[in-house]
Structure 1
Amino acid sequence: MVALVGLTVVASRLGRLGICRASVVASARAMAQLAVVSLILVYALQHLWAAVVFTIVMFAVAVATTVGRTGVGRAWPWTAVAVASGVLPVLAIIFCSGAAPVNAASLVPLAGIIIGNMMNGHTLAGRRLFPELRESIGTFEAALSLGLPRADAIRMVTEDSIAEAVIPSVDSTRTVGLVPLPGAFIGVLLGGGSALQAGAAQLLVLVGILAGQAVTVVVAHRLVCAGLLLPPDLRRALHE
């Protein structure tokens, strides 16, 4: 781990990425957090109620993280709505269909994977849409001057770039097994499952991520167009 962190620092210095300190701190935090989480998971994986509580904590941390990355501040409840809109239907389909048993050992890893990827999708959407809106205030104002409602004026700026947030998931799903061998596949194999079971588990996870991110990004975009999910500066600039 020390060697890998060192490689990150060297690459950052040579490429002037500016992440030397951040990478060291992030790695140290990851070590400490995983040590604590491992102890908690020993208990959570044996009790459904504890797994539910742990899942709620994961969701709260994911929302806080993407709020910080996108800078929406007090609009965080709408971030929670967007992330939950992708998480809940995916988990409902997985468990209600019987694809995975409703127990602690299934809930924690599946919820963690889905929540983490909804967080990533929301962050990518926000970091793509908000700079686009800041750079295109003139287009927004022109649309308003033509009599378009605010939601339509915002959509005129953002509709061509919103799909960028889900392209990584589309590519991961399309190339699975050819480029990456993802964690769920390897985990099932290492756990003694067959290749068929490993492939089924990974396919379930990948398609679930793709479906959930599509919903999260669409809902986030609708909330942005409605003026609800915006950073403070854009909330003022994108007036009625």
Structure 2
Amino acid sequence: MTSLSVHLVVALAVLTGLAVVVAALARLGTARADAVAVVRALGQLALVSLVLVAVLGRLSFSIAFAVVMLGVAVGTSARRIGAGRAWPWVLVAMASGAVPVLVVVFASGAVPWTGAAVVPMAGIVIGGAMTASSLNGRRLFAALREERDTYEGALALGLPVPVAVRLVVARHRAESLVPGLDQTRTVGLVTLPGAFVGVLLGGGSPAQAGAAQLLVLVGLLAAQTVVVVVGSWLVERGLLVPEDLRAAIRRPRRPRDGVPVEL
């Protein structure tokens, strides 16, 4: 099990240096971002570790902490997809996937309803929902910008806005689920994800580790699928869109005298 020691410090320093140096030599433009990300992770994990000491002992505190995690995830995803003002709809999409999964996990008794279990399970599911929301938003918005002729043509034919948007985005929705699907398909063969390793390091048996990881993977797959479907539905109705697409989707201009609609 990893412990706080000089060996950990050396490993972290070398790995950080590797990422920064390679990014700088290859001119990826992410060297500074890599270093800042590591420093932020260090600070945030140190703070969270201190908070968890108090939070995990009380179920009510653990639930409150999970709500805070959801809020941070929503803000992060909204900024990532360029739809900061639409954050309430990002919240709707993410909560629609994360909340039902967590209810099933705890109501079924598969995971004990304790503070020590709520925080890590909620963190995993909410993190997966955030990833799906960000990937889905970025891909759908890119498609709407790149394939505006399809959208304009559908409007010119008299189709409703939601249908016109769906013609553009429908085939791109599943792309957001590829990482989760790949991880589920290859678990145990290519990867041993965190839940599996965590249970083993905590002294659990391989069977217990496998059961925990299976629950996590299936829960993530369910949550991310719902997030993508609900998020796409909100995009089609012009609710979850960035500023540059808001006017075109909510109040599209009909073509007149051969002038195309601008998206």
Which residue of structure 2 aligns with residue 67 of structure 1? 78
Q: Deviations over 1:73-126 (max 9, x none)?
A: 211100000000011110011011110111101100000000011000100001
Please tell me whether residue 85 in structure 1 is matched to residue 115 in structure 2. no
Q: Which deviates more from structure 2 when the two are superposed, residues 217-226 or residues 187-196? A: 187-196
Q: Does 1:215 align with 2:226?
A: yes
Counterpart in the other structure of 2:173: 162
**One of 190, 193, 200 as aligned partner of 2:201:** 190
- Equivalent residue for 2:240? 229
Residue 14 of structure 1: how far off its partner (Å): 2.8
Moved more, 49-58 or 14-23: 14-23
Query: Please, which runs of 5 or more residues in structure 2 have no aligned partner?
Result: 1-11, 253-263
**1:68, 1:78 → 2: CA distance?**
13
Equivalent position SS for 1:159? helix
1:45 pairs with one of 32, 37, 56: 56
Distance 1:79 1:95 in 2: 24
Task: Give the drift of 1:191.
Answer: 1.1
| Residue identity opposite 2:127 in structure 1 | G
Which of 101, 106, 128 in structure 2 is aligned with 1:117? 128
**Alignment match, 1:3:** 14
The counterpart of 2:68, out of the listed 49, 57, 72, is: 57
Which 10-residue stretch deviates more, 62-71 or 2-11? 2-11
- In the TM superposition, 1:122-161 aligns within 5 A as 122-161=133-172
Corresponding residue of 1:28: 39
Contact 2:75-2:84 within 8 A present in 1 as well: no
Could you tell me how far apart the structure 2 residues matched to 1:2 and 1:129 are?
38
- Specify the SS of the correspondent of 1:161: helix
Q: Report how many residues are paired.
A: 240
1:237 Cα deviation from its structure 2 partner: 2.4
Which residue, out of 87, 98, 116, partners 1:76?
A: 87
Query: In structure 1, what is the Cα distance between the partners aligned to 2:79 and 2:86?
Result: 11
Residue in 1 aligned with 2:9? none
Between stretches 168-177 and 7-16, larger displacement belongs to 7-16
State how far apart, in whole Å, the 1-side matches of 2:101 and 2:125 are.
8
Give a deviation string over 1:111-169, Cα, whole Å, max 9, x none.
00000110001000011111110111121111001010000000000111110000110
The structure whose Rg is larger is 2
Structure 1: where are the runs of 5+ without partners? none
Distance, in Å, in 2 between the alignment partners of 1:157 and 1:15 is: 35
Structure 2-normalised TM-score? 0.90
Root-mean-square deviation over aligned CA pairs: 0.8
Structure 1 position 190, deviation (Å): 1.3
Matching residue of 2:8: none
How far has the Cα of 1:16 moved from its partner?
A: 2.1
CA contact (8 A) 2:56 2:62 kept: yes
Q: Deviation at 1:29? A: 0.7
For residue 204 of structure 1, the aligned residue among 203, 215, 222 is 215
1: CA distance, partners of 2:71 / 2:132: 16
Report the alpha carbon displacement of residue 44 of structure 1 after superposing the two structures with TM: 0.9
C-alpha separation in 2, matches of 1:203 and 1:183? 11
Contact in 1 for aligned 2:173/2:232 (Cα 8 Å): yes
TM-score by length of 1: 0.98
* 2:171 alignment partner, SS class: coil
**Residue of structure 2 equivalent to 1:15:** 26
| Moved >6 Å (runs of 4+) | none
